[in-house]
Structures are given as structure tokens and as C-alpha cells.
């Protein structure tokens, strides 16, 4: 039996490259051991079949940004039932057309952004990318979000007009937004700088109770047809 050696040493011998380059290949998901991708350079191998993908490049992959369809009942930013726990290889949406290769490193240090009420469902963003973090925090007040809200009750006179402009929340006057009926029980909200609990409070001020709420869009990025509990990558070129 061959004595165990580090995978990075085996790849360096196989590819005729430096140990540093071998570690880069491994960490970027280009190396398989007996058919399985291994991303740990320190992984020990003996007689296993080690293969370097013919398409392997040394360029470091971009930090990942994940778009999750958060189900109702999960906490978006903090809480006992974090939605981030739903992001796993097995829950990647089969319709993901981003072209991003799935790597285990993409599931480490994902920061959830853009608050969403626990009882609401819909689009949620988690990222490793500082550029995305800055865009969705520093420019949050300028990015429009779209919701569809199922309501019950009878709307007050001029209620729709007041939803569009004229309400206050937590002592501040709300900026004009776009609210319209989608059907007899659903309202469409398009608004900026939305705060947790704000839409429920706006509806209550005009005699309506929120039954269910789903976020469809953040800026230019939409939920599309992705099922609840599944996620996709934000591809290069798609901007909020």
C-alpha cells in the first residue's frame, strides 16, 4: 500500500505544477478523488484515483451571492429558525441558469441581507461579496422592492390613495409608493426603504389585515418561478 500523502502533493506531481498552484486547483473544485470533488488540499490519499479537470484554470472563483426563496416562518436575518440553513447543495434550484459551478466554499460565511418579516415568504439575498453587501446596505433606501400581499377586510374610503401616499410609520411620513389591486384579495406594493412590519401597519391603517405576503423583486432581480425553499446563484452581470 502506498503511504498516505497530501492531495496537494499528488496533484502537483500529476499536473507538473507548484504546490501552491495545486492547492488553488483543489480549493476551486477542479480535482476529483475516485470521482468525487474534494476541495481540501490537506486531504490524504493513497491509491485513490486522482483527476484534474481538463478545463481547470488557476483564476480564483468570484465570491458567491445566493438568491433564496424563503418560505414563510423562517427568519431572514436573525432568529431561532434561520433561512440561511436552507441553502445547501441539495436545495439548489434545477432551473438555475447562472452557469456558476457549485463549490462547498460557497456555503461558508454567507451574510443575509435586506430584511424580510418571518411570516413573509419570497426573495432573500445571502452573499460573500463585499460589493453586493455595500450595494444592498449603503444604497438600500434607493432600491425598490416589490411585494404581493394577500389581505382580508374591507378597505377604508380612499384607502388605496392613502396607501400610495399619505401614511406614517413609527412617527415618520412614508414616501410615495406604488400600490394597486392585483385581484380582489391581493395588493401589489412597489416601494423603497421598506422596514420590517411596515406593510402590515400600512394595511391596518386602511382597515385591512395581511393574510400572506411574498417579496417578488429587489431592484432588478426577481424571484421568477423558483420554488419555496430553493435557491440559485446570482450570475455575473445580473445587478440589483
CATH code, 73: 3.30.70.580
Rounded CA gap, 234 and 231, in Å?
A: 10
pLDDT in tens, 65-102: 999 999 999 999 988 999 999 999 999 999 999 989 89
Q: 239 in a domain, yes or no?
A: no
CA 96 to chain centre: 12
Q: 58 in a domain, yes or no?
A: no
Q: Which residues pair with 50 in a beta bridge?
A: 33
Rounded CA gap, 234 and 240, in Å?
A: 10
Q: 69 in a domain, yes or no?
A: yes
**For range 155-164, the mean pLDDT:** 96
| pLDDT at residue 1 tops 70 | no
Pair (152, 207) in one structural domain: yes
Dihedral of the alpha carbons of 218, 91, 213, 143, in degrees to the nearest 10: -10
- For 22, the domain range is 5-52
Pair (123, 212) in one structural domain: no
Q: Which residue has the higher pLDDT, 151 or 37?
A: 151
Q: Which residue has the higher pLDDT, 37 or 70?
A: 70
CATH number for the domain harbouring residue 39: 3.10.290.10
Amino acid at each position: 500500500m502506498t503511504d498516505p500523502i497530501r492531495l496537494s502533493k499528488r496533484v502537483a506531481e500529476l499536473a507538473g505544477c507548484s504546490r501552491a498552484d495545486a492547492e488553488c486547483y483543489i480549493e476551486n473544485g477542479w480535482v476529483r478523488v475516485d470521482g468525487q470533488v474534494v476541495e481540501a488540499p490537506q486531504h490524504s490519499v493513497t491509491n485513490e484515483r486522482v483527476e484534474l479537470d481538463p478545463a481547470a484554470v488557476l483564476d480564483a472563483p468570484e465570491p458567491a451571492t445566493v438568491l433564496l426563496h424563503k418560505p414563510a416562518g423562517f427568519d431572514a436575518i436573525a432568529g431561532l429558525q434561520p433561512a440561511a440553513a436552507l441553502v445547501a447543495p441539495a436545495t439548489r434550484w434545477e432551473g438555475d441558469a447562472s452557469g456558476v459551478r457549485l463549490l462547498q466554499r460557497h456555503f461558508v460565511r454567507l451574510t443575509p441581507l435586506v430584511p424580510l418579516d418571518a411570516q413573509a415568504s419570497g426573495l432573500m439575498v445571502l452573499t460573500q461579496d463585499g460589493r453586493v453587501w455595500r450595494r444592498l446596505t449603503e444604497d438600500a433606501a434607493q432600491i425598490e422592492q416589490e411585494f404581493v400581499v394577500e389581505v382580508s377586510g374591507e378597505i377604508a374610503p380612499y384607502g388605496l390613495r392613502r396607501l400610495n401616499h399619505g401614511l406614517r410609520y413609527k412617527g415618520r411620513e412614508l414616501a410615495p409608493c406604488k400600490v394597486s389591486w392585483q385581484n380582489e384579495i391581493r395588493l401589489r406594493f412597489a416601494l423603497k426603504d421598506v422596514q420590517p412590519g411596515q406593510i402590515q401597519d400600512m394595511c391596518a391603517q386602511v382597515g385591512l389585515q395581511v393574510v400572506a405576503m411574498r417579496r417578488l423583486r429587489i431592484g432588478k432581480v426577481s424571484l421568477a418561478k423558483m420554488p419555496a425553499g430553493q435557491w440559485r446563484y446570482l450570475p455575473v452581470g445580473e445587478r440589483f
